[in-house]
Chain A
Amino acid sequence: MSSRRSRSRQSGSSRITDDQINDLVSKLQQLLPEIRHSQSDKVSAAKILQETCNYIKNLHREVDDLSERLSELLASSDTAQAAIIRNLLMQ
């Protein structure tokens, strides 16, 4: 696996250029609801990276909260909800 990775690095560009990184950073910006619509030249790369970290942390927290929520919903459920889940699976 490591040999495959090193080969692909060499066949591309052996050096990472600033342009490549800037391009990737602005792609990241498009994924961030907070700063998606800001003009890219107005937002620094550091700011985008920081917002990216915050966004991932928020999403992790949402998964935590939703896991708890779903656990509670299962507790208050009866067999009717097994059917609902099966129905969802069929869709």
Chain B
Amino acid sequence: MAYESGITPMNSSSSSLRLARTFLRSFSRIKSRRPTTAASRSAFELRRRSRRIKIAAYSSMARVAGPQRTWARALLFKLNTRARHRTSMRRRCSTMPSAYPDDHVGKLRRLVPGGDGMDVCTLLEETADYIHCLSAQVKVMNAIAHHLSKN
């Protein structure tokens, strides 16, 4: 995959479109693996599938953002390893000095993938990009849900 957009922000319409396509492609694959209609309605199937949709959502976001983003690399790493040890996510204490109350910066580190190891400036930059991509992803999913429930 080419990342021709470089480090331009996520709000350009072309990257929104790429995100929509990338997610839809994974999403359609989740659908086609459905064995039978009866089985697809069971609570277990619903949960399993919504988990897979969620993973598809986050991984689409990260792939479209590209490997130059620390949060995207960290998110993909987390998604690739979480199946084995979901609860053993390590939480490193950061030694980076911070100009603002530690609890806010600390909270942000925990919310932004890969935020643990960043200095404050990088953390804030990555946070802005992460929010951009996350809200674009929510828009895409909302649009698909709207589209599917109409029909």
Q: Does A associate with B in a complex? A: yes
Identify the closest chain A residue to B100 (Cβ). A45
Query: Interface size of A by Cβ–Cβ distance < 8 Å?
Result: 45
State the Cβ distance, A1 to closest chain B Cβ, in Å: 9
CA distance A53 to B111 in the complex (A): 7
Q: Are B40 and A75 in contact (CB under 8 A)?
A: yes
Q: Are B21 and A56 in contact (CB under 8 A)?
A: no
Q: Is chain B's interface secondary structure helix, strand, loop, or mixed overall?
A: helix
CA distance A59 to B54 in the complex (A): 12
Instruction: Fill in one digit per residue for B24-55: 1 if any A CB lies within 8 Å of its CB, else 0.
Output: 11011011101001001100011101110110
Q: Are A62 and B138 in contact (CB under 8 A)?
A: yes
Within 8 A of A (CB), among B112-151: 112, 119-121, 124-125, 127-128, 130-132, 134-135, 137-138, 141-142, 144-145, 147-149, 151
Q: Are B53 and A70 in contact (CB under 8 A)?
A: yes
Q: Are B54 and A63 in contact (CB under 8 A)?
A: yes
Number of A-B contacts (CB under 8 A): 138
CA distance A55 to B107 in the complex (A): 12
Residues of B within 8 A of A88 (CB): 20, 24, 144, 147
Identify the closest chain B residue to A12 (Cβ). B121
Q: Are A49 and B104 in contact (CB under 8 A)?
A: yes
CA distance A69 to B145 in the complex (A): 7
Residues of A within 8 A of B127 (CB): 28, 52, 56
B interface, CB within 8 angstroms of A: 20-21, 24-25, 27-28, 30-32, 34, 37, 40-41, 45-47, 49-51, 53-54, 57-58, 99-101, 104-105, 107-108, 111-112, 119-121, 124-125, 127-128, 130-132, 134-135, 137-138, 141-142, 144-145, 147-149, 151
A interface, CB within 8 angstroms of B: 9, 16, 18, 20-21, 24-25, 27-28, 31, 45-46, 49-50, 52-53, 55-57, 59-60, 62-64, 66-78, 80-82, 84-86, 88-89
6 A-B contact pairs sorted by A residue (CB < 8 Å): A28-B131, A56-B108, A59-B131, A71-B46, A71-B47, A81-B151
